[in-house]
């Protein structure tokens, strides 16, 4: 979205939604890139031994995918001033060749006179919210 278009945003504007599929192979690649090799992200036996339903996606991977909805829409990652979330529920990634599906929507919820806007992001997996208080602050112009 161009800077000029962002300047004319209104509260309630919905960003284009996206769906992401996360498979076990994605978790391996993310572990290598991030250095987070916690066994709950790749070993089903350990994950279930500690009380998880199965292997789970890295929280920061889930956060990044949800944030991608905002940065893709902006077209300029530098216009993203702040981004934060609370992790409310893990994304369980079964070893079934299909993986987990994360659905992400976002909406402009506040516009300030200072030339910034707040975008509230919603991320769900199997009908359950996986990120809470997911909000991005963007520069309008």
CATH of the domain at 124: 3.10.129.10
**Any domain includes 109:** yes
pTM of the entire structure? Answer: 0.92
Above pLDDT 70, what percent of the chain?
A: 95
User: Which band of pLDDT confidence, cut at 50, 70 and 90, is reported for residue 8?
Assistant: confident
Query: Does a structural domain hold residue 41?
Result: no
> Which of 50, 55, 79, 90 is CA-nearest to residue 138?
79
**Within-domain flag for 82:** yes
Residue 35 resides in a domain: no
115 closest CA partner among 81, 66, 84: 81
Tokens linked to 93: 């990634």
Domain contains 100: yes
Number of domains in the chain: 1
Please check whether residue 103 lies inside any domain of the structure.
Answer: yes
Angle between helices 59-74 and 24-34 (to 10 degrees): 90
Q: Check whether 3 has a pLDDT greater than 70.
A: no
Domain that holds residue 106: 3-22+57-139
Q: For the residues 52-78, what does the mean pLDDT come to?
A: 97
Would you say residue 95 lies in a domain? yes
Residue 52 lies in a domain: no
């Amino acid at each position: 979205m161009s800077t000029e278009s962002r300047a004319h945003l209104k509260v309630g504007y919905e960003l284009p939604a996206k769906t992401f599929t996360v498979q076990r192979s994605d978790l391996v690649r993310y572990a290598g890139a991030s250095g987070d090799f916690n066994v709950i992200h790749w070993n089903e036996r350990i994950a279930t031994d500690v009380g998880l339903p199965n292997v789970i996606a890295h929280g920061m991977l889930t956060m990044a995918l949800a944030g991608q909805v905002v940065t893709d829409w902006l077209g300029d990652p530098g216009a993203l001033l702040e981004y934060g979330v609370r992790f409310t529920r893990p994304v369980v990634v079964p070893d079934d060749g299909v993986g987990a599906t994360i659905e992400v929507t976002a909406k402009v919820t506040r516009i300030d006179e200072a030339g910034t806007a707040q975008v509230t992001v919603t991320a769900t997996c199997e009908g359950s919210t996986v990120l809470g208080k997911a909000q991005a602050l963007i520069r309008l112009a």
